[in-house]
Amino acid sequence: MDNTMPILLVPGLVSSPRIYAPAMCALWAIGPVTVANHIRDDNMGAIARRILDEAPPRFALAGHSMGGYIAFEIMRQAPDRVLRLALLNTQARPDTPEATSRRRSQMARSEAGDFRDVLNELFPIFVHPMRRDRADLLQLVHDMGGDVGVEAFIRQQTAIIGRPDSRQTLATISCPTLVLTGDQDLAIPNSLSKEMADGIAGAKLVILSQCGHLSQVEQPEATANALVEWLRL
C-alpha cells in the first residue's frame, strides 16, 4: 500500500523554489513534492484557485511568508483537500497602512528600474542581523528576484496589499498544523506566529534560535526537521 503524502510548498514574496531547496531531500523522502507557482495573478483568490487546479487531490500544504497568506486562502476555498498545514514566518493579519505605503513605494521604484536596490534594502529585513554580511544569502535573494521578475513582483505586492484578514479563519483549521518562525524575524514578528498558534486548535509552535525571516536557508536543518516531524504526525 502506498502511504506517501503529496507535499505542496508555496514560496513567499519575491521567492522561488530555491527557498525550499535545503529541505527538499528530507521532504522528498516522505512524498512527492511540488512547489507552487504563485507569480501569475494579482489577488489571493485567483492565486489559490490556480494552485488548487494544478495541485494533487489532497496534500500537505506549507506556505512561507506570502505563501502563508495564500495557504489561508486555500484553506478557505478547499479545506477538505489539505491534510497538514505548515505556516512558516507568516501572519494572519491584513496589511497595515504603513506596510501598504511601503509596498507601493517598492512597486513604483521597481517599475522605474530600481528593482535591484529594492532587493538590497529587503535583504537586511529578511535575515537575522548576524547574517547581513552573508554574500551567499544576498545572492540567493537576487537570484530569486530574477526568477520572479519585476512584473510578477508587482502582482505579488498587489495581492498582498489586498489580502483579507485571516484571523477568523484560524478557528476553522482542524488539520495538524505547524507554525514556525525565527527568534529575530524582522519582517513578521514572532508574536504574530504565537497569535496564529494560539488560534488554531492543537497547533505546534516552533521558534528557531538565531533565525530571521528566511528560516529554510538560515536554519535549514532545524527547519527540515520540524517539517518532517509535522508530516509524520
Q: Name 205's bridge partners.
A: 179
Please check the confidence at residue 2 and state whether its pLDDT lies above 70: no
The domain spans of the chain are 1-233
- Provide φ and ψ at 96, rounded to 5°: -85, 160
Give the pLDDT score at 4. 81
Instruction: Decide: 121 and 14 in contact? Cβ < 8 Å.
Output: no
Give the pLDDT score at 180. 98
pLDDT in tens, 46-60: 999 999 999 999 999
pLDDT in tens, 168-182: 999 999 999 999 999
Give the pLDDT score at 46. 98
d(Cα 155, Cα 157) in Å, to the nearest integer?
6
Give the pLDDT score at 3. 67
* Cα–Cα distances in angstroms (integers) from residue 223 to residues 51, 96, 128, in the given order: 24, 28, 15
Which three cell numbers, joined as nine digits, stand for 155?
502582482
pLDDT in tens, 11-68: 999 999 999 999 999 999 999 999 999 999 999 999 999 999 999 999 999 999 999 9
Please check the confidence at residue 196 and state whether its pLDDT lies above 90: yes
CATH topology of domain 1-233: Rossmann fold (3.40.50)
Please check the confidence at residue 162 and state whether its pLDDT lies above 70: yes
Structure confidence at residue 1 as a pLDDT band (50, 70, 90): very low
Which three cell numbers, joined as nine digits, stand for 36?
507552487
Query: In 3D, which of 2, 54, 11, 59 has the Cα closest to residue 33?
Result: 59
Percent of the residues in the chain that have a pLDDT greater than 70, as a whole number: 99
Question: Cell numbers 498582498 correspond to what residue?
Answer: 160
pLDDT in tens, 84-133: 999 999 999 999 999 999 999 999 999 999 999 999 999 999 999 999 99
